[in-house]
Amino acid sequence: MNEVQLTIDEIKSIARDCLEGHGCNAANADAVAEIIAMAEGDGCHSHGLMRLGGYVAALKSGKVNGLAEPFTQQLAPAVIRVNGDSGFAPLALKCGRQPLIDAAKTNGIAALPLVNIHHFAALWTEIEPVASAGLCVMACTSYKPVVIPAGGSKPLYGTNPFAFGWPRGSSPPMIFDQASSVVARGEVMLAAREGHSLAAGVGVDADGNPSTDPDEVLKGALLAFGGHKGSSIAMMVELLAGALIGESLSVEAAVRDNNDGGPPQGGEFMLAMNPELFGDAQGWNARAERLFEEIVAQDGARLPGDRRYRCRREASENGVRISRSVYNKILEL
Protein backbone atom coordinates (compact mmCIF):
# COMPACT_ATOMS: atom_id res chain seq x y z
CA MET A 1 0.00 0.00 0.00
CA ASN A 2 1.52 3.31 -1.05
CA GLU A 3 -1.13 5.33 0.75
CA VAL A 4 -2.56 5.76 4.24
CA GLN A 5 -6.20 6.72 4.88
CA LEU A 6 -6.73 9.42 7.52
CA THR A 7 -9.67 11.57 8.63
CA ILE A 8 -9.32 15.35 8.67
CA ASP A 9 -9.40 15.30 12.48
CA GLU A 10 -6.59 12.73 12.54
CA ILE A 11 -4.49 14.86 10.19
CA LYS A 12 -5.07 17.90 12.37
CA SER A 13 -4.14 16.13 15.57
CA ILE A 14 -1.00 14.52 14.03
CA ALA A 15 0.14 17.97 12.90
CA ARG A 16 -0.76 19.65 16.21
CA ASP A 17 1.03 17.01 18.33
CA CYS A 18 4.10 17.17 16.12
CA LEU A 19 4.30 20.98 16.35
CA GLU A 20 3.70 21.03 20.09
CA GLY A 21 6.40 18.36 20.46
CA HIS A 22 8.84 20.68 18.73
CA GLY A 23 8.18 23.83 20.73
CA CYS A 24 4.92 25.43 19.58
CA ASN A 25 2.42 26.42 22.22
CA ALA A 26 -1.18 25.25 21.78
CA ALA A 27 -2.39 28.39 19.99
CA ASN A 28 0.40 28.38 17.40
CA ALA A 29 0.29 24.60 16.90
CA ASP A 30 -3.49 24.64 16.49
CA ALA A 31 -3.45 27.48 13.94
CA VAL A 32 -0.84 25.75 11.76
CA ALA A 33 -2.42 22.29 12.15
CA GLU A 34 -5.75 23.73 11.02
CA ILE A 35 -4.42 25.00 7.71
CA ILE A 36 -2.45 21.78 7.11
CA ALA A 37 -5.64 19.75 7.63
CA MET A 38 -7.61 22.14 5.39
CA ALA A 39 -5.03 21.71 2.61
CA GLU A 40 -5.14 17.91 2.82
CA GLY A 41 -8.94 17.92 2.93
CA ASP A 42 -9.14 20.07 -0.21
CA GLY A 43 -6.68 17.93 -2.16
CA CYS A 44 -3.83 20.46 -1.96
CA HIS A 45 -1.21 17.97 -0.76
CA SER A 46 1.72 20.25 -1.58
CA HIS A 47 0.66 22.46 1.35
CA GLY A 48 -0.48 19.76 3.75
CA LEU A 49 1.44 17.28 5.89
CA MET A 50 4.35 17.41 3.48
CA ARG A 51 5.15 20.85 4.93
CA LEU A 52 5.47 19.63 8.53
CA GLY A 53 9.17 18.86 8.06
CA GLY A 54 9.81 22.49 7.11
CA TYR A 55 7.74 23.86 9.99
CA VAL A 56 9.63 21.61 12.44
CA ALA A 57 13.04 22.52 10.96
CA ALA A 58 12.27 26.22 11.46
CA LEU A 59 11.31 25.60 15.10
CA LYS A 60 14.40 23.48 15.74
CA SER A 61 16.78 26.04 14.26
CA GLY A 62 15.19 28.77 16.37
CA LYS A 63 14.28 30.83 13.30
CA VAL A 64 10.57 30.76 14.11
CA ASN A 65 9.07 31.62 17.49
CA GLY A 66 6.72 28.78 18.38
CA LEU A 67 5.40 30.84 21.30
CA ALA A 68 4.62 33.89 19.15
CA GLU A 69 2.01 36.34 20.41
CA PRO A 70 0.96 38.36 17.35
CA PHE A 71 -0.50 41.82 17.98
CA THR A 72 -2.44 44.34 15.89
CA GLN A 73 -1.75 48.04 15.35
CA GLN A 74 -4.38 50.34 13.81
CA LEU A 75 -2.25 52.42 11.41
CA ALA A 76 -5.25 54.25 9.86
CA PRO A 77 -9.05 53.79 10.03
CA ALA A 78 -8.86 51.12 7.33
CA VAL A 79 -5.31 49.80 7.80
CA ILE A 80 -4.73 47.21 10.50
CA ARG A 81 -1.22 45.87 10.73
CA VAL A 82 -0.41 42.59 12.45
CA ASN A 83 3.07 41.99 13.80
CA GLY A 84 3.49 38.21 13.89
CA ASP A 85 6.17 38.23 16.61
CA SER A 86 8.39 36.09 14.35
CA GLY A 87 5.92 33.20 14.44
CA PHE A 88 4.22 31.21 11.69
CA ALA A 89 1.66 33.17 9.67
CA PRO A 90 -1.57 31.30 10.64
CA LEU A 91 -1.91 32.69 14.19
CA ALA A 92 -1.10 36.22 12.97
CA LEU A 93 -3.85 35.87 10.37
CA LYS A 94 -6.32 34.67 12.98
CA CYS A 95 -5.44 37.71 15.07
CA GLY A 96 -6.01 40.18 12.22
CA ARG A 97 -8.98 38.57 10.49
CA GLN A 98 -11.90 39.94 12.52
CA PRO A 99 -10.46 43.48 12.75
CA LEU A 100 -10.04 43.40 8.94
CA ILE A 101 -13.61 42.22 8.41
CA ASP A 102 -15.00 44.84 10.81
CA ALA A 103 -12.98 47.66 9.22
CA ALA A 104 -14.00 46.65 5.66
CA LYS A 105 -17.67 46.38 6.65
CA THR A 106 -17.55 49.89 8.13
CA ASN A 107 -15.27 51.69 5.67
CA GLY A 108 -16.09 49.77 2.49
CA ILE A 109 -12.44 48.79 2.10
CA ALA A 110 -9.67 47.80 4.51
CA ALA A 111 -6.16 46.42 4.33
CA LEU A 112 -4.31 43.96 6.52
CA PRO A 113 -0.54 44.15 6.19
CA LEU A 114 1.19 41.35 8.11
CA VAL A 115 4.83 41.74 9.07
CA ASN A 116 7.37 39.61 10.93
CA ILE A 117 5.73 36.34 9.91
CA HIS A 118 6.92 33.08 8.32
CA HIS A 119 4.60 32.00 5.51
CA PHE A 120 4.44 28.46 4.10
CA ALA A 121 0.76 27.95 3.37
CA ALA A 122 -1.86 28.02 0.63
CA LEU A 123 -3.46 31.48 0.53
CA TRP A 124 -7.03 30.23 -0.03
CA THR A 125 -7.08 28.91 3.56
CA GLU A 126 -6.61 32.50 4.68
CA ILE A 127 -9.02 34.36 2.45
CA GLU A 128 -11.90 31.90 2.52
CA PRO A 129 -13.14 33.01 5.99
CA VAL A 130 -13.05 36.66 4.84
CA ALA A 131 -15.00 35.94 1.65
CA SER A 132 -17.42 33.79 3.67
CA ALA A 133 -18.05 36.86 5.84
CA GLY A 134 -19.46 38.60 2.72
CA LEU A 135 -16.39 40.48 1.46
CA CYS A 136 -14.35 40.50 -1.75
CA VAL A 137 -10.80 39.79 -0.72
CA MET A 138 -7.34 39.48 -2.20
CA ALA A 139 -4.04 38.41 -0.66
CA CYS A 140 -0.45 37.90 -1.69
CA THR A 141 2.90 37.01 -0.15
CA SER A 142 6.51 36.75 -1.30
CA TYR A 143 9.13 34.10 -0.50
CA LYS A 144 12.82 33.73 -1.44
CA PRO A 145 14.12 34.32 -4.99
CA VAL A 146 13.31 31.25 -7.09
CA VAL A 147 11.67 32.85 -10.15
CA ILE A 148 13.56 34.62 -12.96
CA PRO A 149 12.09 37.96 -14.15
CA ALA A 150 10.97 37.68 -17.82
CA GLY A 151 13.98 38.09 -20.09
CA GLY A 152 16.44 37.85 -17.19
CA SER A 153 18.74 35.06 -16.06
CA LYS A 154 18.83 35.10 -12.25
CA PRO A 155 16.10 34.28 -9.70
CA LEU A 156 14.72 37.49 -8.18
CA TYR A 157 11.07 36.88 -7.25
CA GLY A 158 9.52 34.35 -4.91
CA THR A 159 6.84 32.06 -6.30
CA ASN A 160 4.67 34.90 -5.02
CA PRO A 161 1.10 33.55 -4.84
CA PHE A 162 -1.88 35.82 -5.40
CA ALA A 163 -5.40 34.85 -4.35
CA PHE A 164 -8.81 36.44 -4.91
CA GLY A 165 -12.11 35.55 -3.27
CA TRP A 166 -15.69 36.57 -4.08
CA PRO A 167 -18.60 36.02 -1.64
CA ARG A 168 -21.58 33.91 -2.75
CA GLY A 169 -24.01 34.10 0.17
CA SER A 170 -24.59 30.68 1.68
CA SER A 171 -22.58 28.91 -1.08
CA PRO A 172 -18.80 28.58 -0.76
CA PRO A 173 -17.03 31.65 -2.18
CA MET A 174 -15.39 31.66 -5.61
CA ILE A 175 -11.64 31.64 -4.96
CA PHE A 176 -8.67 31.45 -7.23
CA ASP A 177 -5.25 31.10 -5.70
CA GLN A 178 -2.20 30.83 -7.90
CA ALA A 179 1.56 31.12 -7.77
CA SER A 180 3.17 33.65 -10.13
CA SER A 181 5.44 30.85 -11.30
CA VAL A 182 4.15 28.28 -13.80
CA VAL A 183 3.66 25.93 -10.82
CA ALA A 184 4.14 26.40 -7.08
CA ARG A 185 7.50 25.22 -5.69
CA GLY A 186 5.55 22.83 -3.45
CA GLU A 187 4.39 21.01 -6.59
CA VAL A 188 8.02 20.67 -7.70
CA MET A 189 8.96 19.32 -4.22
CA LEU A 190 6.05 16.87 -4.45
CA ALA A 191 7.17 15.73 -7.91
CA ALA A 192 10.73 15.25 -6.61
CA ARG A 193 9.48 13.23 -3.66
CA GLU A 194 7.20 11.07 -5.78
CA GLY A 195 9.62 10.67 -8.72
CA HIS A 196 7.52 12.42 -11.42
CA SER A 197 9.00 14.64 -14.11
CA LEU A 198 7.74 18.18 -14.66
CA ALA A 199 6.04 19.52 -17.76
CA ALA A 200 8.28 21.40 -20.18
CA GLY A 201 8.49 25.15 -19.57
CA VAL A 202 8.21 25.00 -15.77
CA GLY A 203 11.82 25.69 -14.87
CA VAL A 204 15.53 25.60 -15.59
CA ASP A 205 18.52 23.86 -13.95
CA ALA A 206 21.33 25.62 -12.09
CA ASP A 207 23.02 26.48 -15.42
CA GLY A 208 19.85 28.06 -16.81
CA ASN A 209 19.05 25.19 -19.20
CA PRO A 210 15.39 24.11 -19.52
CA SER A 211 14.78 20.98 -17.41
CA THR A 212 11.88 18.68 -16.54
CA ASP A 213 13.78 17.01 -13.66
CA PRO A 214 12.29 18.36 -10.39
CA ASP A 215 15.56 17.87 -8.47
CA GLU A 216 17.44 19.93 -11.06
CA VAL A 217 14.75 22.63 -11.11
CA LEU A 218 14.88 22.84 -7.30
CA LYS A 219 18.61 23.61 -7.66
CA GLY A 220 17.91 26.02 -10.52
CA ALA A 221 14.88 28.31 -10.95
CA LEU A 222 11.24 28.47 -11.94
CA LEU A 223 9.75 30.55 -14.75
CA ALA A 224 6.87 33.00 -14.29
CA PHE A 225 3.54 31.95 -15.83
CA GLY A 226 2.62 33.70 -19.07
CA GLY A 227 6.08 35.20 -19.61
CA HIS A 228 6.23 38.94 -18.93
CA LYS A 229 2.62 39.01 -17.62
CA GLY A 230 3.20 36.60 -14.73
CA SER A 231 6.55 38.29 -14.16
CA SER A 232 4.77 41.62 -13.58
CA ILE A 233 2.33 39.97 -11.15
CA ALA A 234 5.33 38.58 -9.24
CA MET A 235 6.80 42.09 -9.15
CA MET A 236 3.49 43.53 -7.87
CA VAL A 237 3.50 40.97 -5.05
CA GLU A 238 7.06 42.00 -4.05
CA LEU A 239 5.84 45.61 -3.90
CA LEU A 240 2.60 44.97 -1.96
CA ALA A 241 3.87 42.33 0.49
CA GLY A 242 7.28 43.98 0.86
CA ALA A 243 7.90 47.61 -0.10
CA LEU A 244 4.40 48.90 0.74
CA ILE A 245 4.23 47.43 4.23
CA GLY A 246 7.80 47.77 5.49
CA GLU A 247 8.74 44.13 4.98
CA SER A 248 11.43 42.41 2.98
CA LEU A 249 11.61 41.70 -0.74
CA SER A 250 12.32 38.05 -1.56
CA VAL A 251 16.01 38.87 -2.14
CA GLU A 252 16.24 40.49 1.28
CA ALA A 253 14.43 37.59 2.97
CA ALA A 254 16.95 35.18 1.42
CA VAL A 255 19.93 37.08 2.83
CA ARG A 256 18.49 36.81 6.34
CA ASP A 257 17.29 33.20 6.01
CA ASN A 258 19.25 30.30 7.54
CA ASN A 259 18.09 27.83 4.84
CA ASP A 260 16.82 25.34 7.40
CA GLY A 261 14.08 24.25 4.97
CA GLY A 262 11.37 26.23 6.74
CA PRO A 263 9.70 29.43 5.55
CA PRO A 264 11.76 32.67 5.53
CA GLN A 265 10.63 35.70 7.50
CA GLY A 266 8.58 38.05 5.34
CA GLY A 267 5.29 39.84 4.89
CA GLU A 268 1.80 39.35 3.52
CA PHE A 269 -0.77 41.79 2.18
CA MET A 270 -4.54 41.34 2.33
CA LEU A 271 -7.25 43.70 1.06
CA ALA A 272 -10.97 43.34 1.75
CA MET A 273 -13.91 45.19 0.13
CA ASN A 274 -17.55 45.32 1.17
CA PRO A 275 -19.68 44.93 -1.99
CA GLU A 276 -22.64 46.47 -0.16
CA LEU A 277 -20.82 49.83 -0.11
CA PHE A 278 -19.66 50.14 -3.73
CA GLY A 279 -22.83 51.65 -5.21
CA ASP A 280 -24.88 48.61 -6.25
CA ALA A 281 -25.97 46.95 -3.05
CA GLN A 282 -29.03 45.48 -4.82
CA GLY A 283 -27.35 44.22 -8.01
CA TRP A 284 -23.76 43.12 -7.38
CA ASN A 285 -24.59 39.60 -6.36
CA ALA A 286 -26.97 38.83 -9.26
CA ARG A 287 -24.54 40.22 -11.81
CA ALA A 288 -21.67 38.10 -10.43
CA GLU A 289 -23.85 34.99 -10.34
CA ARG A 290 -24.82 35.58 -13.97
CA LEU A 291 -21.11 35.57 -14.88
CA PHE A 292 -20.50 32.36 -12.93
CA GLU A 293 -23.52 30.69 -14.58
CA GLU A 294 -22.26 31.63 -18.03
CA ILE A 295 -18.81 30.22 -17.25
CA VAL A 296 -20.04 26.85 -16.07
CA ALA A 297 -22.56 26.64 -18.91
CA GLN A 298 -19.63 26.19 -21.30
CA ASP A 299 -18.51 22.60 -21.77
CA GLY A 300 -15.16 22.05 -20.08
CA ALA A 301 -15.22 25.32 -18.12
CA ARG A 302 -15.47 25.45 -14.32
CA LEU A 303 -15.04 27.94 -11.51
CA PRO A 304 -11.71 28.07 -9.70
CA GLY A 305 -12.11 26.46 -6.29
CA ASP A 306 -14.71 23.92 -7.45
CA ARG A 307 -12.15 21.10 -7.55
CA ARG A 308 -11.22 21.87 -3.93
CA TYR A 309 -14.82 22.00 -2.78
CA ARG A 310 -15.46 18.62 -4.42
CA CYS A 311 -12.39 17.17 -2.66
CA ARG A 312 -13.64 18.67 0.61
CA ARG A 313 -17.01 16.95 0.31
CA GLU A 314 -15.31 13.63 -0.45
CA ALA A 315 -12.81 14.05 2.41
CA SER A 316 -15.53 14.77 4.94
CA GLU A 317 -17.20 11.46 3.98
CA ASN A 318 -14.23 9.18 3.28
CA GLY A 319 -11.14 10.86 4.75
CA VAL A 320 -8.00 11.56 2.78
CA ARG A 321 -5.38 9.28 1.24
CA ILE A 322 -1.88 10.43 2.19
CA SER A 323 1.19 9.15 0.37
CA ARG A 324 3.05 6.55 2.45
CA SER A 325 6.38 8.35 1.94
CA VAL A 326 4.97 11.59 3.39
CA TYR A 327 3.33 9.67 6.26
CA ASN A 328 6.59 7.86 7.11
CA LYS A 329 8.44 11.17 7.22
CA ILE A 330 5.85 12.49 9.69
CA LEU A 331 6.31 9.43 11.89
CA GLU A 332 10.08 10.08 11.91
CA LEU A 333 9.39 13.64 13.09
Catalytic sites, residue numbers:
46-47, 187
Residue 101 vs 237, nearer CB to ligand NDP: 237
> Which of 185, 36, 13 lies closest to 125, judged by CA?
36
Please identify the residue of the shown chain whose CB is closest to the bound ligand NDP: 122
**Residue 231 near residue 149, CB atoms below 8 Å:** yes
Give me the phi and psi of 103, to 5 degrees please: -65, -40
> Which of 228, 221, 226 lies closest to 203, judged by CA?
221
Residue 180 vs 274, nearer CB to ligand NDP: 180
Residue 103 vs 121, nearer CB to ligand NDP: 121
Residue 47 vs 97, nearer CB to ligand NDP: 47
Residues near ligand NDP (CB under 6 A): 44, 47, 119-124, 141, 143, 159, 161, 163, 176-179, 183-184, 186-187, 302, 304-308
Neighbours of 205 (CB within 10 A): 17
Query: Please, what is the minimum distance in Å from the beta carbon of residue 281 to ligand NDP?
Result: 28
Distance of CA 56 to the CA centre of its chain: 18
> Which of 73, 90, 91 lies closest to 82, judged by CA?
73
Query: Please, what is the minimum distance in Å from the beta carbon of residue 226 to ligand NDP?
Result: 12
> Which of 312, 331, 327, 316 lies closest to 43, judged by CA?
312
**Residue 129 near residue 270, CB atoms below 8 Å:** no
Query: Please, what is the minimum distance in Å from the beta carbon of residue 262 to ligand NDP?
Result: 11
Query: Please, what is the minimum distance in Å from the beta carbon of residue 83 to ligand NDP?
Result: 19
